[in-house]
Structure 1
Amino acid sequence: MLQINFKKLNLFFIVLLFSLNCFGQQSDTLKVLFVGNSYTYYWNLPQMVSALAKGGDTVIKARKSTLGGATLMQHWEGERGLETKNTISEGEWDVVVLQNHSKSTIANPEGFMDYGKKFIGLVKETGARPLLYMTWARAYNPLMQKTVSTGYRSLAETTGVDVAKVGEVWEQARLLRPDLELFDSDGSHPSPLGTYLTACVFYKILTGKASKGLSGRLSGIDQDGETLFLSGSSDGDAEFIHQLVDKMIVEKMVWE
């Protein structure tokens, strides 16, 4: 006659439920690596994306591999102390965001395509999803955007990956609200508000959720438990940015 050890059976179900719960917690967290240069690390873009996600009841664990002025070629070749390829291969990322130098599509279009394809191939090999980060035109020459957009769109279409059209959202924001201070004083890098706009684009694509209703005032916690203030956008500016992003960004990445 079959005898059932109820103590062992109960222990089995406890372990099973614990394992399922842990798996659920892991699957609810999106691990995103941002690869690029100062256009990515200015005003803590990855952390701002995480803070926006928290406000939208989503968990995004964002990290970065960046260096000022770096190109994807330098990331690939490991120049200037960069270890991006190892970071991608060993990180178990869900998404890897790829941002090349802001003038790469203009100064070296062949290299832009070549190293873009190399990184996209590497990211796909790890099982992660590549996401291209289209940058914006300099303040002094809005006409740059056409070349930048063409380069990123061509790379995306050739490799079958998604592109975050940040530069085109910036372009529209500048047309509709020329009073917005999206640029740093150098006319190239983003201001805190420019980074906030960029973060909203990534939030919309990564989560598939509308940015409407998110706070323009964001903060985080450092390793010592101190509060870090990431964004202080006014309610009016944040509302405009949300409406613009939600209108222009209709794509979303689908997680399997």
Structure 2
Amino acid sequence: MKFKQFLFLPLLLLVACNSSEGEPAVVPDSVLAGTNIAIPDNTAKDIYKVVLFGNSHIGGLSALINTLIVHGLANKTVTTREASSQLYLTDRLSDGASVNILKNETWTHVILQAQKYSQSGQVDYPTEGAQRWIQLAKAQQATPILFPEHPQRGNNTEGQMLYDLHLSIAAKQSACVAPIGLVWNKVIALRPELVLHHADGNHASYLGKFLSALVFYEIITANSADLLPYISSLEIDAQTQDFFGQFVSQVIAENPPCDYR
């Protein structure tokens, strides 16, 4: 444990070069020196600005989150952005464009996906990169939300494993943890005929993305997904929208994503 701490502290400055988003970003050592401030609570903001950092698994989520907030909370304003990259979170620390996306805007919520993990569970990959992104988000007074991916088709243990992995990250550096895999597991168990996966068995279908977006809606706004009205513009029938909302709110009640203390 002492050795791991030693590795974490020497990084006094992170100079991110080759930025396509303005000047190279410099992250001060005060942000990276092991601080663990409380999670900023931005649920009551009148204007939500949400950015998603991740790989192909975040594709299409920002638009759905936007739609849910617009229809669920008419008194709120929302903008969302997807910062997509094939880099893992640790690698993105040295990507100037990624760091500047975070630093050059006043975000209320930062969703973080693409922590490297072992599908077999036999290898433990470092999580310091995810922890640093959480620190950077909190330093900007944004709410960091960890995004454990949904399980791949036919894998009954991956969702819980990924959720537990991200809980372990939040235990070291306070952040919200979206119970995506737990929600998917429950819906798959109760309604196996619903197609949540893309044909590749890995990515989410439109229906699966909607289910995950409901989780983020409730975390961002602290409003129950179960109380969302039917949204006719979505390619999902009213019964399924209602069904998903019920189980998202139930799982979140049983597994609170954010500890703002």
TM-score range, shorter chain: 0.7 to 0.9
Of residues 24, 34, 37 in structure 1, which corresponds to 2:52?
34
Change (3 A) 1:173 1:89: same
Residue 60 of structure 1 deviates from its aligned partner by 2.3
Match of 1:96 among 110, 113, 119: 110
C-alpha deviations, 1:72-109, integer Å up to 9, x for none?
1232222xxx7111111111111111111574675763
Is 2:92 the partner of 1:75?
A: yes
Q: For 1:160 and 1:178, locate their aligned partners in 2 and report how far apart those are by CA, in whole Å.
A: 34
Cα RMSD after superposing both structures: 2.5
Q: Is structure 2 residue 253 aligned with structure 1 residue 247?
A: no
Q: 86, 99, 113: which one pairs with 2:100?
A: 86
Q: Percent identity?
A: 26
Are 2:71 and 2:231, in contact at CA under 8 Å, matched by a contact in 1?
no
Mapped partners of 2:80, 2:243: distance in 1: 25
TM-score (norm 1): 0.75
TM superposition shift of 1:177: 0.9
* C-alpha distance in 1 between matches for 2:92 and 2:122: 17
Amino acid at match of 2:46: D
Code of the aligned partner of 2:187: A
Q: 1:96 to 1:29 in 2, by over 3 A?
A: same
- Give the Cα–Cα distance (whole angstroms) in 2 for the partners of residues 252 and 117 of structure 1: 16
1:156 and 2:170 equivalent? yes
Aligned to 1:177: 191
TM-score by length of 2: 0.74
Superposed, 1:40-55 pairs within 5 Å as: 40-41=58-59, 44-55=60-71
Specify the alignment match of 2:209 in structure 1.
195
- Give the superposition deviation at 1:253: 5.6
Give the aligned residue type for 2:196.
L
CA distance in 1 between counterparts of 2:150 and 2:200 reads 14
Secondary structure at the aligned position of 1:212 is classed as helix
Q: Which has the larger radius of gyration?
A: 1
Alpha-carbon contact 1:134-1:166 (below 8 Å) kept:
yes
C-alpha distance 218-100 of structure 1, shift in aligned 2 (>3 A): farther
Distance 1:74 1:188 in 2: 22
Aligned counterpart for 1:145 among listed residues 151, 159, 164: 159
Q: Any gaps of 5 or more consecutive residues in structure 1?
A: 1-26, 220-230
In the TM superposition, what are the counterparts of 1:99-110 in structure 2 within 5 Å? 99-101=113-115, 103=117, 106=121, 109-110=124-125
Q: 2: distance between equivalents of 1:140 and 1:196?
A: 20
Cα distance change on mapping 1:184 and 1:87 into 2, 3 Å: same
| DSSP-derived class of the 2:243 partner | helix
Rounded Cα–Cα distance in structure 1 between residues aligned with 2:136 and 2:122: 24
Question: Structure 2: any 5+ residue segments left out of the alignment?
Answer: 1-44
Measure the CA separation in 2 of the matches of 1:218 and 1:38.
Answer: 27
Deviation of the 1:59 alpha carbon: 2.5
- Name the structure where helix makes up a greater proportion of residues: 1
Q: Distance in 1 between matches of 2:107 and 2:122?
A: 31
Task: Compare 94-103 and 145-154 and name the one that shifted more.
Answer: 94-103
Map Cα deviations across residues 117-176 of structure 1 (whole Å, 9 max, x no partner): 111111122222211112121113222223212211101122122111111111111111
Residues 95 and 129 in structure 1, CA contact (< 8 A), matched pair in contact too: yes
CA distance in 2, matches of 1:204, 1:138: 23
